[in-house]
Structure 1
Amino acid sequence: MRNKAWQPTLGLSILVAGLALIAGAALWLALNGNTGIRYSADHAETVPMWHRWIPALAGLVLIRLLPPKTTPTGAAPARGGLHRQALLLLVSATLFAAGLWLWGGGEPAHTLLKLILLLAVPALLFWLSRRDCADRGQIHERPAAWRHYGPIAPVTAWLVLTYTGPLAVPSSDYAARVDPVTLVLTIVVVFSVNSLLEEVFYRRWLQTRWEHLIGRWPAIVLTSLLWAAWHVGIQGTGHLLTDLSSVFVNQGVQGLFLGYLWSRYRLMWPILVVHGAMNAGPVLLGML
């Protein structure tokens, strides 16, 4: 059973439009002299946008060069349950980004919307779809044993380029301003609510289902843009076009790296290490 005729066309359209959107965002920022982008919601400091690109692009190249040389599975036919899950997850991601922006991006809006739209809604969706065993088999893919070691090189390269040398993200003094218990609790909560929940929702759930519908790279691009868009709510300056452009060239490009890591290896630890470092890296560097 082959994919429906519209799926390759939709996939190509999303791929071209998504990459054009990222390129257009970079051009818009360059033309307006806004090439410094925020790398954290905790302060307004910026780094040149290409500082964020180089580690991600290096990681993408290494993923491509290292095993596996073939798609993990990916060619399974799409059925009705998979379509419904993919669409509803897409709606949840869109509502999260829009709702957070409209609500102002602070707490408790951020955590409440995330727990409702990125956790409760998918949990209900999967519970209602629990009898759909045919679709379930398409999206739970077990990696081969040797694939566990493939991500080490791209993840290490990304970490080294992001946190050492001339491209290093500035460190944070947060650890010096709080007691050790608060520091540990903050890191654990941030990792759980941000890194873990986001990667499970965006990559493991959303991206995987859309890969089966429209292909690997269209799904990676679509997921990356949706993941990037919600950051406007916590990093925005009030100018929507500039804010969207900033997150597309920052989190959007990082999302391509995270998405390719997940698509090629189907392992959670690499994307959790990278995402966790994005959030905690500056704080940990400040302790050295």
Structure 2
Amino acid sequence: MSAAAETSKPVADSPWVLAALTAIMLGAVVATTILNPQGLVVSRDPGYEALPVPLLLVPAVAVIVLTLVLPRGRGSSAMTVRLPSALRSETAGLLALAVGFPLIGAVMPRPEDWVLLKAVMFLIVPGTVLAVLARRRGPSVLIAHPVVPAGIIVLPALLLGVSTNVGPFSQGGPATWPPLAILLIGATATAITAGLGEELMFRRFLQTRLEALAGRWTGILVASILFGLMHTFSHGDGALGENAARAIAMNGTTGLALGLMWSRWRRIWVCVLAHVLLNGFGVLLHLVGLID
């Protein structure tokens, strides 16, 4: 308990580290904008409309602003480190998974393999290991949950899902939709492995521990950059550096919005809902007949 008491106070962010991480994020946005003057199509499916990079970033930026202006709620969202050594070991293992996923995924021959790989590396392995360790010696870090109405914190999730799929910042829909059965299977698999798996991995598991070790904003930014880099080989066809910059600019910015939701309110269901709507709101509109 003495070790826990020594590390219970929130860790302050290093200004130099924050400056470097911010430069990486902004540099990726600037580079992606310059390298794609014709705009970007985020999806690989045919039929989507190319939009300028700044327009594509508006939903995530709007969510970041909304999250910052909404009430924090009563109480703290800070964390208390119980087991410093265990916390460092867990973080190292999670970082290995986060870095290893795109490297392994890059040599996988089929898109379906990515879904299975996410299930293993983002859900099964870290979820099982952390649960077993917590049961044996308790959690390495305790998380405070502020009291805040669900009707308030759900607003950024709804904004992200709707604004990216409908309106001036939407790239439209695919040229053709797959058969209903295939569409439902794909949407369900995406909701589980991306909506749930990625949020547990990058927000609940990894960002939490990075915040506890290096500071709130450092944890948010590092997790967001790694979340972006996770999409390097699946969302681009250019050179490696260009694909990485694009992934950080587009997916990393979305990760920043999701990470801020988690850090501010500590409700992982909000992040999962936002991610599921981000990927699936267009599918939902198609299923109810509002879009072709």
TM-score normalised by the chain length of structure 1: 0.85
Would the alpha carbon gap of residues 61 and 107 (structure 1) be closer, same or farther in structure 2, given more than 3 Å must change?
Answer: closer
Q: 1:44: how far off?
A: 8.3
Which residue of 71, 84, 90 maps to 2:89?
Answer: 84
The structural deviation recorded for 1:143 is 4.4
What SS is found at the alignment partner of 1:250? helix
Superposed CA deviations along residues 200-230 of structure 1, whole A, max 9, x for unmatched, are 1111111111111112211111111111111
Q: Encode CA deviations 1:73-99: one digit per residue, 9 max, x unaligned.
A: 324236111111112101110111222
Q: Which has the higher helix share?
A: 1
Q: Distance in 1 between matches of 2:223 and 2:245?
A: 16
2:187 matches 1:187: yes
Distance 1:228 1:110 in 2: 15
Q: Secondary structure at the match of 1:76?
A: strand
Counterpart residue number, 1:207: 207
- Structure 2 CA distance for partners of 1:104 and 1:40, relative to 1, 3 Å: same
Task: Structure 1 unaligned segments of length 5 or more: list them.
Answer: none
Alpha-carbon contact 1:161-1:168 (below 8 Å) kept: yes
Structure 1 residues 220 and 86, CA gap change in structure 2 (3 angstroms): same
Matched, 1:31 2:34: yes
Q: 1:100 matched to which residue of 2?
A: 105
CA displacement, residues 34-63 of structure 1 (integer Å, 9 cap, x when unaligned)? 562332243484322112221111111111
Pairwise CA distance, 1:111:
2.8
Matching residue's letter, 1:81: A
After superposing the two structures, state which structure 1 stretch, 83-92 or 123-132, moved more. Answer: 123-132
Whether the 8 Å contact between 2:231 and 2:247 is mirrored in structure 1 is yes
- Indicate the percent of aligned positions where both proteins have the same amino acid: 27
Provide Cα deviations, 1:98-134, integer angstroms capped at 9, x if missing partner.
Answer: 2222x15733531343233223331353224532325
Distance (Å, rounded) in 2 between the aligned partners of 1:99 and 1:172 = 28
- 2:220: which partner in 1? 220
For structure 1, which segment, 206-215 or 64-73, has the greater mean C-alpha deviation from structure 2 after superposition?
A: 64-73
Q: TM-score, normalised by structure 2?
A: 0.84
Q: Residue 39 of structure 1 aligns to a residue in which SS?
A: coil
Q: Which residue does the alignment assign to 2:156?
A: 154
**Further displaced range: 122-131 or 15-24:** 122-131
Distance in 1, Cα, partners of 2:52 & 2:60: 14
Which residue among 134, 138, 153 is the counterpart of 1:133?
A: 138
1:51 aligns with 2:27: no
Query: 1:73 maps to which residue?
Result: 77
Could you tell me whether the CA contact under 8 Å between 2:202 and 2:227 is conserved in 1? yes
Residue number among 115, 119, 135 corresponding to 1:115 in the alignment: 119
- C-alpha contact (below 8 Å) 1:173/1:283 kept by paired residues: no
SS of equivalent residue, structure 2 residue 259 = helix
Question: Counterparts of 1:69 and 1:35 in 2: how far apart (Å)?
Answer: 43
Question: Who is 2:257 aligned against?
Answer: 257
Kept after mapping to 2: 8 A contact 1:47/1:169: yes
Distance 1:56 1:167, change over 3 A: same
In the alignment, the residues of structure 2 paired with residue 82 and residue 221 of structure 1 have an alpha-carbon distance, to the nearest angstrom, of: 19
TM superposition shift of 1:3: 4.5
1:195/1:272 contact within 8 Å kept? yes
Aligned-partner Cα distance in 2 for 1:29–1:202: 23
| Higher RCO, Cα 8 Å, sep 6+ | 1
- Distance in 2 (CA, whole Å) between partners of 1:96 and 1:211 is 22
Aligned amino acid, residue 167 of structure 2: G
Contact 2:122-2:201 at 8 Å conserved across structures: yes
Size of the alignment, in residue pairs?
280
Helix, strand or coil at the partner of 2:67: helix
CA distance in 2, matches of 1:8, 1:35: 41
For 1:160-175, list aligned pairs within 5 A: 160-175=162-177
Q: CA RMSD in A?
A: 2.7
Deviation at 1:17, TM superposition (A): 2.0
Task: Determine if contact 2:77/2:145 at 8 Å carries over to the other structure.
Answer: no
Distance apart, 1:264 and its partner CA: 1.0
In structure 2, the CA distance between the partners of 1:149 and 1:67, relative to structure 1 (3 Å rule), is same
* Aligned residue type for 1:155: A
Segments of 5+ residues of structure 2 without an aligned counterpart are none
CA distance in 1: counterparts of 2:34 and 2:186, whole angstroms = 38
